[in-house]
Structure 1
Amino acid sequence: MAVNFLKNQEVSDLCLGKPPLKKWAPDHHATIADALSALKKSCGGGGDHQSHYLSIWSCSVDSHHSVCECVGKICMADIICFLCKEENLANPLKALEGNSVSQLLLHKGPSLSVRHLDPNSSLLQALDSILDGAQNLVIPIESYSTRNSRKKSHNKPSPFTTTHHNGREYCWITQEDVVRFLLNSIGVFSPIPTYTIESLNIIDPDIMTVRYEEPASSALPLISRSLVEQTSVAVIDENNRLIGEILPSTLALCDETVAAAITTLSAGDLLAYIDCCGPPEELVQLVKMRLEEKNLEAMLDLMEEYSLSSSSSSASSSCSSDDESALSKYSGSGRYSFGRRSEAIVCHPWSSLVAVMIQALTHRVSCVWVVEEDHTVVGTVTFEGMLKVFRSISGPRE
């Protein structure tokens, strides 16, 4: 039953209701500054996590057609990690304007891939593509406007047509989309979803952690890795208890000046700085003071340009002084909190697969932290791990 479901379900069914993908096709001279500008224009304040990513397209033109292919995606977290490199801190504006946008894709390596699939591809093919390393599947969709456009083009032939852009629009399909779709048909896979994550052997012990008192900059390689692997970095105390997490999706909602905070703050203070209620004024001033001590005037100028001090004053007033409390609290509802700072979603080895799926989808996180009874971290369960379970039900590849 499960095998037939995965083979007979078309990937286009996952595209229903998804917005068209915003595309950016830079020329060969495009810089990271150009990418930053395009990213800010593309975001537009959308609530969907994927609205904070910019798809990058490569186009080739012959005498009759322009054929375009999506070659990758970027977000603000990529630019923040780029600016945090030692060679870029002294002059961030020069780094943005003097480096090609391709640098943002190169550092991710081959593991971060974007793959095109036909809309009539099966869900099983989509699963195989994702488990082969594709983070995003690009699926052609057809909107009313594009259908109407093609009808008009039949009436009035044009010497130049755009096969991929004018003929069709596209949408992303992510690991989260597939997991959500499978959850809606979870009965098909019974009784596997009721098994514990421990019995299914999907707890990944290869976790990335940083102590809360350590410099946030020491976590940079881990943040870059988490961006590629769609995981996160745990901020822990001296007893390996989870305080919070540095999520790439959280950094994607920030602006490029967070690079200054990563350069100057501890990992624990960084959690407060990137919290949804805004950086406390005292942390903003601490960042500026430490930038001066490090002779990073250009980075300081970048902060001043965005007037973080004035914008954070009102934001920090909505945050309780309890934000300054030291260690994490366990709320008893499957999450940890660091005062009112970013919360990390947690489960236990005895949690069922379906329960963890619901947790991850509800909180829009790609991995859930697994903790023991004493609240020490033992691993994570990721969307990829969940998808491997459903793929294994369908038997070996043909």
Structure 2
Amino acid sequence: MAVTLLAHGVSDLCLGKPALRSLSVTTTIADALEVLRNSDDNSVSIWGCKHKAGFGSGAATATATADDDDDDCRCIGKISIVDVICYLCKEESLKSPSAALNAPVSVLLPEISGLVMHVEPSCSLLEAIDFILKGAQNLVVPIKTRLSSRKKQHQKPSATATIHGGREFCWLTQEDVIRFLLSSIGLFSPIPALSIESLGIISPDVTTIDYHSPASAAVPAIARSLADQTSVAVVDSDGTLIGEISPYTLACCDETVAGALTTLSAGDLMAYIDCGGPPEDLVRVVTARLKERNLNGMLDYFTTSLSSTTLSSSSSDEESTGRVSPLGRSLRHSRSMSYSARMVRRAEAIVCHPKSSLVAVMIQAIAHRVNYVWVIEEDCSLVGIVTFSDMLRVFREHLEAMA
């Protein structure tokens, strides 16, 4: 059984995965933002191609040809709404958001290298885990070209499937690997039943912000947590976990959240980005504070974009929920309302306890589509965090012993 598990390559994990949609590195942020708004995915891959038949300026256009060398067309990163939000929170962007959005998406790519890595389908499970443990968020894997993808008409702006060397691509995430290991969890007995505390995988290295602190102080931390696939914990003066500012939740919002991040406290921001749309009183607060700080560029963008989104989403929102949401994207990505997401007061942070078993924490994270779980004591004091990377280290050591 162990030999069978170790024999798997990443191609086995790619079965059923959709072809990777992509944008050129020269695409403007505005065009990329339109793609993200109209996509069910929270992120889009960014590609750089050297060949003449490759990407042009603006939205993604032509793809690589079968005759090009492998190094000519590479996925160099990915971006999400969160990247745009953090970018719009910069001082120069606040002055003129519309002008800032005309910059190429390359300015959004993190300086951290190795977050995206190309691997061949023959790459082994162990090698894939090693790449992830070294920092790779996404493994880009070639898959057979689907003829149907060739027939899709380009929309403007839109992301297009990248065809290179007669192949399309998909990508694998930490979650994909964890799901795969969970399907064979019995092979790792008794490790899955052990507590995360006994396994030593609770990391005390967490990023926190005080509930009453300005949310703007968390912008650099949000960018780091996006790269680390974690979150920013919101705590009170006693270290009690009140909630979180999660890149996952921000990715389900509109880029106008940048105005709220710039003006609200961390506690008010949590209420602002809570699923269902921000309270009207907080929208008024954001508007008033932007005006007080003479951030006229962001004020105009905030009010114009918010009004436009409200008008476009009001009919569907009223029909489905009986109310209007100022953030059109929020209602499409509601978080789970289960017990584990409501254990913390006034929060939707996903939490567990030090004595929770490894398999229970794995299932929690997968069920809520996050890469981490906060660890708290009975009094809700924050102990640390457990991530998919922490879990993968445990399985990697066990797999190596099985080899």
Per the TM superposition, whether the score is higher than 0.5 is yes
- For residues 145-224 of structure 1, the aligned pairs below 5 Å read 145=147, 164-165=163-164, 167-224=166-223
Secondary structure of residue in 1 paired with 2:343:
strand
Indicate conservation of the 8 Å contact 1:244/1:336, yes or no. Answer: no
Distance 1:80 1:285, change over 3 A: same
**Residue 170 (structure 1) shift:** 1.2
2:238 aligned with 1:239, yes or no? yes
Query: What code does the residue aligned with 1:379 have?
Result: G
Query: What code does the residue aligned with 1:205 have?
Result: P
2:68 aligned with 1:65, yes or no? yes
Indicate conservation of the 8 Å contact 1:10/1:120, yes or no. Answer: yes
Indicate conservation of the 8 Å contact 1:10/1:121, yes or no. Answer: yes
Equivalent residue for 2:29? 32
2:339 aligned with 1:336, yes or no? no
Secondary structure of residue in 1 paired with 2:195:
coil
Indicate conservation of the 8 Å contact 2:202/2:385, yes or no. Answer: yes
Secondary structure of residue in 1 paired with 2:350:
strand
C-alpha separation between the residues in 2 aligned to 1:304 and 1:69? 38
Query: What code does the residue aligned with 1:118 have?
Result: E
Query: What code does the residue aligned with 1:36 have?
Result: L
Q: Percent identity?
A: 55
Query: What code does the residue aligned with 1:364 have?
Result: R
Residues 56-92 of structure 1: per-residue CA shift (max 9 Å, x gap): 1111227943742111000010010011112221111
| Structure 1 gap segments, 5+ residues each | 150-161, 320-330
Indicate conservation of the 8 Å contact 1:6/1:124, yes or no. Answer: no
Indicate conservation of the 8 Å contact 2:46/2:79, yes or no. Answer: yes
- Tell which deviates more after alignment, 81-90 or 196-205: 81-90
Distance 1:220 1:91, change over 3 A: same
- For residues 206-355 of structure 1, the aligned pairs below 5 Å read 206-308=205-307, 310=310, 333=340, 335-337=342-344, 339=346, 343-355=348-360
| Structure 2 gap segments, 5+ residues each | 54-66, 152-160, 326-337
Indicate conservation of the 8 Å contact 2:22/2:162, yes or no. Answer: no
**Residue 316 (structure 1) shift:** 9.8
Equivalent residue for 1:18? 17
Secondary structure of residue in 2 paired with 1:336:
coil
C-alpha separation between the residues in 2 aligned to 1:200 and 1:88? 45
Secondary structure of residue in 2 paired with 1:394:
helix
C-alpha separation between the residues in 2 aligned to 1:303 and 1:88? 13
Query: What code does the residue aligned with 1:352 have?
Result: S
C-alpha separation between the residues in 2 aligned to 1:396 and 1:223? 37
Indicate conservation of the 8 Å contact 1:53/1:74, yes or no. Answer: yes
Equivalent residue for 1:358? 363
Distance 1:234 1:163, change over 3 A: closer
Distance 1:131 1:6, change over 3 A: farther
Indicate conservation of the 8 Å contact 2:6/2:125, yes or no. Answer: yes
C-alpha separation between the residues in 2 aligned to 1:316 and 1:344? 27
Indicate conservation of the 8 Å contact 1:193/1:353, yes or no. Answer: yes
C-alpha separation between the residues in 2 aligned to 1:243 and 1:88? 30
RMSD, aligned CA: 2.9
Secondary structure of residue in 1 paired with 2:276:
coil
Equivalent residue for 2:8? 9
Equivalent residue for 1:124? 126
Distance 1:68 1:235, change over 3 A: same
Query: What code does the residue aligned with 1:90 have?
Result: K
**Residue 307 (structure 1) shift:** 3.0
Q: TM-score, normalised by structure 2?
A: 0.82
C-alpha separation between the residues in 2 aligned to 1:338 and 1:93? 38
Secondary structure of residue in 2 paired with 1:204:
coil
Indicate conservation of the 8 Å contact 2:21/2:162, yes or no. Answer: no
Secondary structure of residue in 1 paired with 2:244:
strand
Query: What code does the residue aligned with 2:30 have?
Result: A
**Residue 96 (structure 1) shift:** 1.9
C-alpha separation between the residues in 2 aligned to 1:141 and 1:76? 27
**Residue 303 (structure 1) shift:** 1.5
Residue of structure 2 aligned with 1:380, choices 376, 385, 389: 385
2:109 aligned with 1:109, yes or no? no
